[in-house]
Each structure stands twice: as structure tokens, then as C-alpha cells.
């Protein structure tokens, strides 16, 4: 399988995808403002990929997630507003805007957006998540948390060139 086919699934899984039905466990929600640094090992058809995620959370302004590959290339830069709208601020040329909105945006809302509904990722503890989907498996860990109010400019969607 070529990398171009794997990348949408790779980015999708970085935040954790919904894989089994049912209400979200309360432990999956982060209810405070701050910045999370995450590391993930994504397995797709037996191949493993290392990803990093930088998730800025604001109860007032929403979420901003930057997903990078292990060498630092930005795969996706996504803004999720409190009303659930998703804006793609930046993306890798290998990824379609629609994929990022559909998977990365959805998964961010599912796990960290305090939005009810189905979210099948399992929280093993407050910093460790495991996701098993029919196409991939992922082990996601929050490795650093810096609590505090973040500047509103970080959550400004007017600079989003890919808003469509």
C-alpha cells in the first residue's frame, strides 16, 4: 500500500477515531484551557507510523490541533470552534481538506470537545488512549500538559485559506 493511500487514515487516527458505538466516557474530556503535547503510534495494515500532536484547548474559543509526522512535517492544522464548525488552516498536499474535516475534526470534537455522541476510543487513563478501527490501531499518549488561558489569536479562523 502506498503512502498516499495511508496518509488520510494516518491523520484521521492521530486524534482518535470513533470505532465502537456508545456514549463517551467522561474521562475522555479535557475541561480546562491549555496546551497538550501528544505522541502516537499508528498501525495501518502492519505498518507503523510515529505522529506528534499539539492540541490547544480553550473553553471559550475551541480547539486547535497541529498534527505532524515524526520528522516535523505538518500533516494538518485544524481549528474546531465551540459550535462544532471545522476549519482547515494548513494541510499536507497529500491530504484532502474533506478528509481532514471529516476525520481529524470529528475526532477532536469527539475526544476533547465535550460533545456528546458516539466516541469509541478507550481511555486507559487520563493521558493514554487506545483506538481500534477496522482499518488501523493507534496508541496515543499525552506526554505534556501546560494549563493556562491561551491567546484568542490562536483560534482565529479568518486566516483559514481552506474554509470551504
Query: 76-126: per-residue pLDDT in tens?
Result: 999 999 888 999 999 999 888 998 887 777 777 777 766 655 665 677 888
What secondary structure letter does DSSP report for 102?
A: I
Confidence of residue 161 (pLDDT cuts 50, 70, 90): low
If you average pLDDT over residues 116-143, what whole number do you get?
Answer: 77
Q: Please give the Cα distance from 143 to 28 (Å, whole number).
A: 15
Per DSSP, the three-state class of 137 is: strand
pLDDT of residue 17: 38
Query: 87-101: per-residue pLDDT in tens?
Result: 999 999 988 899 888
Hey, what domains does the chain have and what are their CATH numbers? 3-159 (2.50.20)
Query: 143-159: per-residue pLDDT in tens?
Result: 999 999 999 999 998 86
pLDDT of residue 131: 73
If you average pLDDT over residues 37-57, what whole number do you get?
Answer: 90
- Taking alpha carbons only, the member of 101, 116, 96, 87 closest to residue 23 is 116
Amino acid at each position: 500500500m502506498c503512502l498516499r493511500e495511508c496518509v488520510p487514515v494516518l491523520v484521521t487516527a492521530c486524534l482518535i477515531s470513533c470505532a465502537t458505538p456508545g456514549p463517551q466516557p467522561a474521562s475522555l474530556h479535557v475541561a480546562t484551557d491549555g496546551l497538550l503535547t501528544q505522541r502516537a503510534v499508528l498501525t495501518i495494515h502492519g505498518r507503523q507510523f510515529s505522529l506528534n500532536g499539539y492540541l490547544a484547548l480553550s473553553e471559550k474559543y475551541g480547539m486547535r490541533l497541529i498534527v505532524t509526522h515524526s520528522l516535523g512535517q505538518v500533516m494538518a492544522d485544524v481549528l474546531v470552534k465551540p459550535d462544532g464548525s471545522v476549519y482547515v488552516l494548513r494541510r499536507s498536499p497529500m491530504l484532502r481538506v474533506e478528509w481532514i474535516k471529516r476525520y481529524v475534526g470529528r475526532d477532536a470534537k469527539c475526544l476533547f470537545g465535550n460533545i456528546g455522541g458516539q466516541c469509541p476510543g478507550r481511555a486507559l487513563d487520563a493521558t493514554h488512549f487506545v483506538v481500534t478501527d477496522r482499518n488501523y490501531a493507534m496508541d496515543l499518549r499525552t506526554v505534556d500538559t501546560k494549563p493556562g488561558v491561551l491567546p484568542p489569536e490562536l483560534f482565529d479562523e479568518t486566516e483559514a485559506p481552506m474554509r470551504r
